[in-house]
């Protein structure tokens, strides 16, 4: 995965993609016991187009030029299936701006804070997200005041009350 992160850093450096951070199940593994996952979820800010439309096309073209191919909804980068998830709402944009820098082996990357991983899981609302919330509550070093503020800012307090054990 380190080589994959090096490619992502190069794409960010070249302006092909904006700020990125690891999220989803792989992001959670930076804080809790590993979860079963088949891909690396990368939340990303994309450069806008003239009409304001967001598109993954320039990113996919840059990856193809580097020899990486699409596989279903992912791109295989150095043997790791990577799914790019554009920042699709204010919560994800905030999560990207607040992502923590960390080293993966010798490569600097960013990972969403556990509070944002929990909030995004609440917002998404799938069964597997419920399990991720439970694991984050049990194992992650959560800042509960920060979490409360995130949930309030993004209107997730009712969902939190329903899901909180």
pLDDT at 109 over 60: yes
The dihedral sign for the CA sequence 150, 151, 156, 159: positive
Question: Does the pLDDT at position 51 exceed 70?
Answer: no
Are residues 45 and 3 in contact, defined by beta-carbon separation less than 8 angstroms? no
pLDDT: which is higher, 49 or 134: 134
For the cut 60, the answer to whether the pLDDT of residue 84 exceeds it is yes
Parallel/antiparallel/unpaired status of strands 69-71 and 100-104: unpaired
Query: Considering the chain, what percentage of its residues have pLDDT values greater than 70?
Result: 96
Flag whether pLDDT at 116 surpasses 60: yes
Average pLDDT over residues 130-141: 93
**pTM (whole model) above 0.75:** yes
Tens of pLDDT, residues 97-108: 999 999 999 999
pLDDT of 70: 92
Alpha carbon 63 to its chain centroid, in Å, reads 19
Q: Phi-psi bin for 115: left (phi > 0), alpha (psi -120 to 50), beta?
A: alpha
CATH for 2-163? 3.30.460
Can you tell me the distance from the alpha carbon of 69 to that of 81, in angstroms, rounded to the nearest whole number?
10
Confidence of residue 48 (pLDDT cuts 50, 70, 90): low
Task: State the average pLDDT for the chain.
Answer: 92
Phi, psi angle pair for 18, to nearest 5°? -85, -155
Mean pLDDT, residues 38-55 taken together: 79
Query: What is the pLDDT, as a whole number, of residue 46?
Result: 83
Measured CA distances, 108 to 2, 100, 114, 122, 124 (Å): 9, 10, 18, 28, 28
Helix 127-139 / helix 114-124 crossing angle, nearest 10 deg? 160
């Amino acid at each position: 995965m380190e080589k994959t992160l090096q490619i992502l850093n190069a794409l960010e450096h070249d302006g092909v993609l904006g700020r990125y951070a690891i999220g989803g199940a792989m992001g959670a593994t930076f804080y809790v016991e590993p979860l079963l996952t088949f891909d690396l979820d990368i939340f990303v800010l994309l450069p806008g187009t003239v009409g304001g439309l967001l598109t993954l096309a320039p990113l996919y073209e840059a990856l193809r030029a580097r020899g990486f191919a699409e596989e279903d909804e992912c791109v295989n980068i150095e043997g790791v299936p990577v799914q790019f998830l554009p920042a699709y709402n204010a919560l994800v944009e905030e999560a990207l701006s607040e992502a923590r820098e960390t080293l993966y082996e010798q490569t600097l990357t960013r990972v969403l804070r556990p509070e944002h991983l929990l909030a995004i899981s609440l917002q998404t609302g799938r069964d597997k997200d419920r399990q991720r919330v439970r694991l984050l509550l049990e194992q992650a070093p959560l800042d509960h005041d920060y979490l409360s503020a995130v949930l309030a800012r993004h209107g997730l307090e009712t969902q939190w009350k329903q899901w909180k054990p």
